Amino acid sequence: MMRPMKLAGSELMFGEGCLEYIKTIKAKRVSIVIGGKSMERSGMLAKVEGYFHEAGAETMVISGVEPDPSFQTVMRGASEMMTFQPDLIVGLGGGSAMDAAKTMWIFYEHPELKKMEDILPPNEFPKLRAKARFCCIPSTSGTASEVSRSVVISDNETGMKHGLGNMEMMPDIAICDPEVTASMPAKITAETGMDALTHALEALASNRANYVSDILATQAALDIMETLPKAYENGQDMKAREIMVQASMVAGMAFTNVSLGIVHSMAHTIGGFFHVAHGLADAILLPYIIDFNSADETAAAVYAGIAEKAGVKELGAAVKELNKTLNIPETFKDVIADEEKYMGMLDELAKVALADGCTKTNPIIPTLDQLKELFVKAYKGE
């Protein structure tokens, strides 16, 4: 059942069947950004284009966004948009497609900008919506880019990831239909679901946490812990898919307002240097960081409260058990074979993670040595 909601000028649609909302959107030319072939194979791309055509809009597709979207791909997409001149841009797919689409939007609206550095702090973020509005249609239940002000884009030369957040990038329209997520493979369901759980738990422990974010993040965390195994075991369980896409969305609303913590700082770093999928990195790191943050009384109380509500004895142990159920490895040693390279980069890994924007809202601001120790623990399982 479609459930519409308007939030601060944005249109948020959720529930089975809400994809049809596209037919009510006022647009003349629509650029749709996708990743690989999954949206074509599942028939979702054709369905989305069909609804726009029914509404009288012309569409074009920008495809080939990588799992770690690159700045080169962003500029290619922006160039295609300059030719087509859309008045609506749609990110259809996982977080990569949505992040790439958001960033293409910036460089389409501002062709005078030429480099990623042009929009990174301390530069002033450019105003958007002079040419187009922005819509997200997620195919995964994890990244919450559809309700997020953030993007992560990789540098073509170094491979390092640039994180950027600004409220200008909040989508005007988000359409969260569980049908779009039904084509997700079990592995992607697991990893993106753990990304969503990390969003919720890090928002709860954030040193900016507040009354509203706590309400959102608490329910999201509980629903994900209960429902993710069901969605993983049966991809066609539409009730589980619907709960997951909504819980991911709600966790996104929470962290967009209070930010995250060092699970994300470290996962961004591991992803940049070793190209580990973001949700997988989050899942491996989360139990270690829960243990580390529990030295803070407030964070420990937050974790204990969630554990009690979830009916588990200890949250870190429950997350480890959930990872096992989802066939997610316990350590990075299982996914990064070159231990010598990893251990040789500890200083650099710690420096990059410490400088990440998510670190400043972690309940404990770690030292470089503490981060190095955490990177070792997450690799060796100690």
CA dihedral of residues 321, 326, 331, 332 (deg, nearest 10): -160
Residue 5 has pLDDT above 60, yes or no: no
Q: How confident is the model at residue 2 (pLDDT cuts 50, 70, 90)?
A: low
Question: Exposed, middle or buried by CB within 10 Å (0-12, 13-18, 19+), for 8?
Answer: exposed
Spatial CA neighbour of 299 closest among 309, 311, 291? 291
Which segment, 7-11, 58-62, 150-154, is predicted with the most confidence on average?
58-62
Residue type, 131: K
Residue 157 has pLDDT above 90, yes or no: no
**The dihedral of CA 24, 26, 29, 30: what is its sign?**
negative
For residue 115 the two structure tokens come to: 């480099």
Q: How confident is the model over 249-288, as pLDDT tens digits?
A: 999 999 999 999 999 999 999 998 998 999 999 999 999 9
CA distances from 270 to 220, 277, 345, 355 (A): 26, 9, 11, 14
User: Angle at Cα 261 formed by Cα 258 and Cα 264, nearest 5°?
Assistant: 115
Spatial CA neighbour of 333 closest among 343, 346, 347? 343
Residue 143 has pLDDT above 90, yes or no: no
* Mean per-residue pLDDT, 168-193: 93
**Residue-level pLDDT at 142:** 85
* Mean per-residue pLDDT, 55-61: 98
Question: Exposed, middle or buried by CB within 10 Å (0-12, 13-18, 19+), for 197?
Answer: buried
Residue 56 has pLDDT above 60, yes or no: yes
Q: For residues 326 and 229, is the Cβ–Cβ distance under 8 A?
A: yes
Q: For residues 361 and 347, is the Cβ–Cβ distance under 8 A?
A: no
Q: How confident is the model over 286-310, as pLDDT tens digits?
A: 999 999 999 999 999 999 999 999 9
CA distances from 142 to 36, 247, 262, 283, 289 (A): 18, 9, 18, 12, 19
Element at 61 (helix H, strand E):
strand 58-62
Q: For residues 177 and 16, is the Cβ–Cβ distance under 8 A?
A: yes
Residue 86 has pLDDT above 50, yes or no: yes
More confident residue, 51 or 2: 51
Of the CA atoms within 13 Å of residue 323, those in its CB half-sphere come to 22
Q: How confident is the model over 201-215, as pLDDT tens digits?
A: 999 999 999 999 999
